[in-house]
Chain A
Amino acid sequence: MQRFSALALARNALSGQTGWQRQWRSPDPAKRYNAIIIGGGGHGLATAFHLARDHGMRNIAVLEKSWIGGGNTGRNTTIIRSNYLFNASSSLYDHAVKLWENLSQTLNYNVMFSQRGVLMLAHNVHDEQVFKRHVHANRLNGVDNEWLTAAQAKAFCPPLRIDAGMRYPVLGAALQRRAGVARHDAVAWGYARAADALGVDIVENCAATSIVRDRQGAVEAVETTRGRIATAKIGVVAAGNTSVIMGMAGLRMPLESFPLQALVSEPVKPVLPCIVMSNTIHAYISQSDKGELVIGAGTDAYISYSQRGALHVSTHTLEAICELFPQFRRMRMLRNWGGIVDVTPDRSPIIAKTSVPGLYVNCGWGTGGFKATPGSGHLFAWTMAKDEPHPINAPFTLERFRDGFLIDEAAAAAVSH
């Protein structure tokens, strides 16, 4: 791998930028692999990277039906935070935030992780009580989170409107300072490049079409649009398409797939110093380093794989944004798109073994899994390599639905991000 450094930049500037190499190979799939990851999003690529780096596994492939990072990884609003309510969740997401803090160094790739803080606005007494409970629960778990009055929130985020004339006045906010954003594409590319350097084959334009099992029921091969590939270990990391792929192995999943939308505005000079989220009026917004306002809307009401959402859903969010930031009313929106998110009944992910020997699944991240990408890859690789979960993902099984140990962040998070 050609390493990036200040020196390499200078050298290539002098040689007219002609010295850069391809960042990862584009191999044809081999006949057999020791492990196959289905799904080349951030989570799948991170899993392959950790399998190769931490567990010394060789001969691994990532199969991606279109181009890497073209799924939710490349479609999300990149909010990274760990202020979740329950112990199991805050340790899962904080594990990821800690890995984000060194990710650019780990991958030798600038993922532009920027810890600019997230403000979660309270608009009524209930919000205030819930967020204070979050603040206390997080601090007991060693996760930073603090309560701000409305005036303190405005000092932290000057463009925020807090006057009493608002339909939903801002009463205060929870602030997680370690929260931030990152460059989504760079995360996919950085993991792809680092995994490729460790020998992982990243095979694009290769969709899994069926999973072949032997007489004992164990995984034996994957049929793909580029031929049959033998393997004894498959990790499914396919976000909105997980139910479809697990169905190829005869498993029914506790998942439903919904379109979730985002929009970006025309780029402007820096105006918004942090991330602002409001569960109650459903809005979340940040500004990218390119200058675009990045706005996330809600999910559609019904399951769909259409990768676009309804106009009334994004309108609803834009109305809330205009209420919080009246100065953005005249901004023009440049692009609007949707991604298909896989939602579990308790809004917590599944990172686990399955009842099929050799088949593992990492899914259910729904509307909020980008923030978990590095941790998810690390924990899922551990689970696949050792055939048992790491203590951090041990609660996030499929069996929790049978046993009644739900991790009910639906009530706790309540907003899509």
Chain B
Amino acid sequence: MLLIPCPYCGPRPELEFTYAGEANISRPAEPESLSDEQWAAYLYQRTNPRGMHAERWRHVHGCGRYFNASRDTLSDQFQFSWKPGESPP
């Protein structure tokens, strides 16, 4: 089980969180201007790196808030986490 650093509450066990996928994917501002390729890329394509991954978590059984974190997908170790709207340290 991971020990996840919530930027609001500090390190907490994984069971308190839900994973919310790759970070920095925002819904296109004008969906109607997108081609099918671009829309499919937004919906389905993911970086899925073997190494550092910027991802989102939600502390559902804690403060309830979403935040961003970077984690090494080979060792599962967190590098750091940061609040939405802030830039990574």
Q: Using a CB–CB distance below 8 Å, which chain A residues touch chain B?
A: 241, 243-244, 252-257, 301-306, 310-312, 345, 401-403
The proximity string for B residues 66-89 relative to A, scoring 1 for CB distances below 8 Å and 0 otherwise, is 000001011110000000000000
Q: Which residues of the partner chain A approach B14 to less than 8 Å between Cβ atoms?
A: 301, 310, 312
Offer 20 A-B interface pairs, CB within 8 angstroms, sorted by A. Answer: A243-B49, A244-B48, A252-B41, A252-B46, A254-B44, A255-B48, A256-B48, A301-B14, A301-B18, A301-B19, A303-B55, A305-B50, A306-B73, A306-B74, A306-B75, A310-B14, A311-B1, A345-B44, A402-B36, A403-B36
Q: Which residues of the partner chain B approach A304 to less than 8 Å between Cβ atoms?
A: 73-74, 76
Please state if B55 and A302 are interface contacts (CB–CB under 8 Å).
yes
Closest residue of B by beta carbon distance from A241: B50
**In the complex, how many angstroms separate the beta carbon of A183 from the nearest chain B beta carbon?**
30
Total B residues in contact with A, Cβ cutoff 8 Å: 26
A-B contact count, CB below 8 Å?
65
Q: Using a CB–CB distance below 8 Å, which chain B residues touch chain A?
A: 1-2, 14-15, 18-19, 36-37, 39-41, 43-50, 53, 55, 71, 73-76
Please state if A255 and B46 are interface contacts (CB–CB under 8 Å).
yes
Closest residue of A by beta carbon distance from B17: A301
* A256–B44 CA distance with the chains assembled, in angstroms: 10
* A345–B1 CA distance with the chains assembled, in angstroms: 25
**In the complex, how many angstroms separate the beta carbon of B13 from the nearest chain A beta carbon?**
9
Please state if B48 and A306 are interface contacts (CB–CB under 8 Å).
no
* A253–B44 CA distance with the chains assembled, in angstroms: 8
Of B15, B43, B53, B71, which contacts A401 at CB under 8 A? B43
* A136–B10 CA distance with the chains assembled, in angstroms: 52
* A255–B45 CA distance with the chains assembled, in angstroms: 7
Closest residue of B by beta carbon distance from A402: B40
Q: Which residues of the partner chain A approach B45 to less than 8 Å between Cβ atoms?
A: 252-254
